[in-house]
Amino acid sequence: MNSDEILKKIENVLNKAKTEFNQTIDETSLEEIYKNYLGKNSLLNNILHSMSNYEPEIRKKVGMSVNNAKIEIEESYQNLKEKLKVANSKSNNSLKIDLTLPGIKIEQFHQHPITSVLNDTVEFFTSMGFEVVEGPEIETAHYNFDALNIPDNHPARDIWDTFYLKCGLIPRTHTSSVQVRTMEAKKPPLRVIAPGRCYRYESVDATHLFMFNQVEGLFVDKTAKLSDLKGILESTVKHLLGVKKTRFRPAFYPFVEPGLDLDIECVFCHGKGCSVCKSSGWIEVIPCGMVHPRVFEYAGINPSEYKGFAFGMGFDRLVMLKYNVNDLRLLYSGNLDVLNQF
């Protein structure tokens, strides 16, 4: 090799070293490269060693060039080392975790009390062979009243404080509107419950809202008896509220005959008398009765062939009794301080 070729070789080594440094991102490979180019057995040292047979003039030239290359490589190495050090300390900082800090509390999901009691009710009735049906919240006067044996201008309409829409439709005042709709749509025997929202023109207080939930029940077959109604409703309040002491009182609803109200022993005073039960010891929970023959006729079912019973649970009331809530508005407030207590 002549001196030019050797100098070219040195330049190539230098360039190669620089390229390798440029591609390095971690300190271990940086050290590795450093060793290759400036260590004992490095390429540059090998070139120097092979110079013993060359003219002193050439040896001097090559020696200088090797030294310059070494200086440049050393500089690149030091620069890069510094840069990697800074970069690493930055990323270490961002990864630092203080294990003693309190954790972030994850909010636990739970159902609204109305939803959970409703789900429980649906499960209870479906286990007895009942099916869930639905009807529209905005009803015709036909299904809300007429077909339930409550003709226009009949004083019984006053029982339901009704909102009337401009178009003549009615936000349903009770889920009983689903009774005739169901009997028209399905052939008996029938076992259905119809949960849903109802609306009444009430002044709002602790136990009344203009919107509330009801669960209607309808049972129709050839042998349905009052004792079946009693048995089902008694086991319902036992299941939902854990109440064993109940009584049935006669009541008037135009679409049932006889009509009844199921009372439970007051859950607050256990029958002794308190402000909630107005000193009577009893709380009215489920209006009910045997389906009126005229309602069957409206629905196209022969009343001498079929019998049935119906009930309409004021659902929010049951939830209040179950959880001892004294103001209905709390259940609908959306206030998490209240809801998280359930």
Query: What residues act catalytically?
Result: 160, 174, 200, 214, 256, 310
Task: Output 76 or 149, the one with its CB closest to ligand PHE.
Answer: 149
Interface residues with ligand PHE (CB under 6 A)? 174, 176, 253, 256, 259, 287-289, 310-312
Task: Output 13 or 288, the one with its CB closest to ligand PHE.
Answer: 288
> Which residues neighbour 206 within 8 Å (Cβ) at sequence distance 6 or greater?
326, 327, 328, 329
In angstroms, how far is the first alpha carbon of the chain from the final one? 92
Task: Output 51 or 288, the one with its CB closest to ligand PHE.
Answer: 288
DSSP character string of 111-168: --HHHHHHHHHHHHHHTTT-EE----SEE-HHHHTGGGT--TT-GGGGGS-----TTS
In our burial notation (b when 16+ CB lie closer than 10 A, e otherwise), range 287-303 reads: bbbbbbbebbebbebee
- Residue 40: both structure tokens together: 């004992």
Task: Output 37 or 253, the one with its CB closest to ligand PHE.
Answer: 253
Is 262 in contact with 235 (CB distance < 8 Å)?
no
Is 105 in contact with 340 (CB distance < 8 Å)?
no
Beta carbon of residue 285, minimum distance to ligand PHE (angstroms, whole number): 11
**Strand-strand pairing, 282-291 and 307-314:** antiparallel
Instruction: Report the residue number whose CB is nearest to ligand PHE.
Output: 312
- Residue 166: both structure tokens together: 């401009």
Task: Output 24 or 213, the one with its CB closest to ligand PHE.
Answer: 213
Which residue has tokens 């959880």?
Answer: 323
Beta carbon of residue 97, minimum distance to ligand PHE (angstroms, whole number): 59
Is 317 in contact with 277 (CB distance < 8 Å)?
no
Is 314 in contact with 284 (CB distance < 8 Å)?
no
**Strand-strand pairing, 190-199 and 211-221:** antiparallel
Q: How far apart are CA 173 and CA 198, in angstroms?
A: 5
> Which residues neighbour 275 within 8 Å (Cβ) at sequence distance 6 or greater?
none
> Which residues neighbour 117 within 8 Å (Cβ) at sequence distance 6 or greater?
240, 315, 318, 319, 322
